């Protein structure tokens, strides 16, 4: 019997995000990153943890080219972050800032959500479909004609997420998404984030929220990745937590929590 030749293996899809040897110093000489290495697979939800001053904001600003010029590389879906691919990188990497008012500046919710796609050349029915879909994903479709400043803080944060989703990104980067939210708004946002079919990198000091949303976490400390592993394991490592100034809320036991993947 003649053996049937094996079919060639299908090449693995590139990681959504790959950071290699990333180092960066500000013009005043302050070195914020000292060689950061990690990758995030397509569809993963990963929390970026660390004390103030660890370099988290500096790292995030490299992901879509707001900061450049240091050593090392950043790749988004196999594309190097740089001038050649900058428009596509900024479409693929959507950053939701901590304060939604930094992203909402148009007279109505609909105009805010339409702004990014319209600036990228999307018009007509496709633009309206993008707006409707993004608002639907965050449960804000009924508010499309409302002025953003008439919404609650939690509603504005959901609209800020929609402004990014309208660009159809591959990676959603969230900066302290649970800050200043009441418990109901916090839960509603968690349900939204768990429902999205995107890669998520969430920068947060809210360790229970990281455990709830992100199966994996990175600990950035003094400009390097100090730990990378299952969120529950990292939060249960008392020595690691103490060494990097990470503290759980009083009485919170990560081992008692059942998380969704």
Q: What is the pLDDT of residues 29-83, one digit of tens each?
A: 899 999 999 999 999 999 999 998 899 999 999 998 889 878 999 999 989 998 8
pLDDT in tens, 149-208: 999 999 999 999 999 999 999 999 999 999 999 999 999 999 999 999 999 999 999 999
Of the pLDDT bands very low, low, confident and very high (cuts 50, 70, 90), residue 216 is very high
pLDDT of residue 4 exceeding 50, the answer is no
Q: Do 42 and 93 contact (CB within 8 A), yes or no?
A: no
pLDDT of residue 2 exceeding 70, the answer is no
Burial of 41 per CB tally in 10 Å (0-12, 13-18, 19+): middle
Measured in residues, the chain has a length of 261
The mean pLDDT value for 127-148 works out to 96
The pLDDT, as a whole number, for residue 261 is 62
The mean pLDDT value for 220-238 works out to 95
Neighbours of 161 (CB within 10 A): 26
The pLDDT, as a whole number, for residue 5 is 47
Burial of 91 per CB tally in 10 Å (0-12, 13-18, 19+): middle
pTM for the model stands at 0.90
Both structure tokens of 21: 């040897």
Pick the more confident residue, 207 or 254: 207
Task: Among 14-18, 85-89, 223-227, name the most confident range.
Answer: 223-227
Q: In whole angstroms, what is the distance from residue 122 CA to residue 119 CA?
A: 7
The pLDDT, as a whole number, for residue 250 is 84
How far lies 17's CA from each of 37, 60, 104, 170, 200, in Å? 11, 11, 27, 10, 10
Q: C-alpha angle with apex 140: 158 to 153, nearest 5 degrees?
A: 40
Domains and CATH numbers, the chain: 17-248 (3.40.50.300)
pLDDT in tens, 77-122: 989 998 888 989 998 999 999 999 999 999 999 999 999 999 999 9
Neighbours of 69 (CB within 10 A): 8
């Amino acid at each position: 019997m003649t053996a049937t030749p094996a079919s060639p293996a299908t090449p693995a899809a590139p990681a959504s995000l790959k950071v290699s040897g990333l180092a960066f110093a500000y013009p005043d000489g302050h070195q914020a990153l000292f060689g950061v290495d990690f990758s995030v697979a397509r569809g993963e939800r990963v929390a970026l943890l660390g004390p103030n001053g660890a370099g988290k904001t500096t790292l995030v600003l490299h992901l879509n080219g707001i900061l450049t010029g240091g050593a090392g590389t950043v790749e988004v879906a196999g594309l190097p972050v740089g001038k050649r691919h900058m428009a596509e990188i900024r479409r693929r990497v959507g950053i939701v800032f901590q304060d939604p008012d930094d992203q909402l500046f148009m007279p109505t919710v609909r105009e805010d959500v339409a702004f990014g796609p319209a600036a990228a050349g999307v018009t007509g029915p496709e633009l309206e479909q993008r707006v409707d879909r993004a608002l639907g994903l965050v449960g804000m479709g009924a508010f499309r004609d409302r002025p953003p400043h008439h919404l609650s803080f939690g509603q504005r944060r959901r609209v800020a997420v929609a402004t990014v989703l309208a660009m159809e990104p591959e990676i959603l980067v969230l900066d302290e998404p649970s800050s200043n939210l009441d418990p109901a708004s916090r839960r509603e946002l968690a349900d939204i984030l768990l429902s999205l079919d995107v890669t998520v990198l969430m920068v947060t000091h809210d360790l229970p929220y990281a455990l709830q949303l992100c199966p994996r976490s990175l600990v950035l400390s003094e400009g390097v990745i100090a730990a990378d592993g299952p969120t529950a394991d990292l939060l249960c490592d008392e020595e690691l937590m103490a060494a990097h100034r990470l503290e759980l809320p009083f009485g919170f036991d990560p081992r008692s929590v059942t998380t969704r993947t």
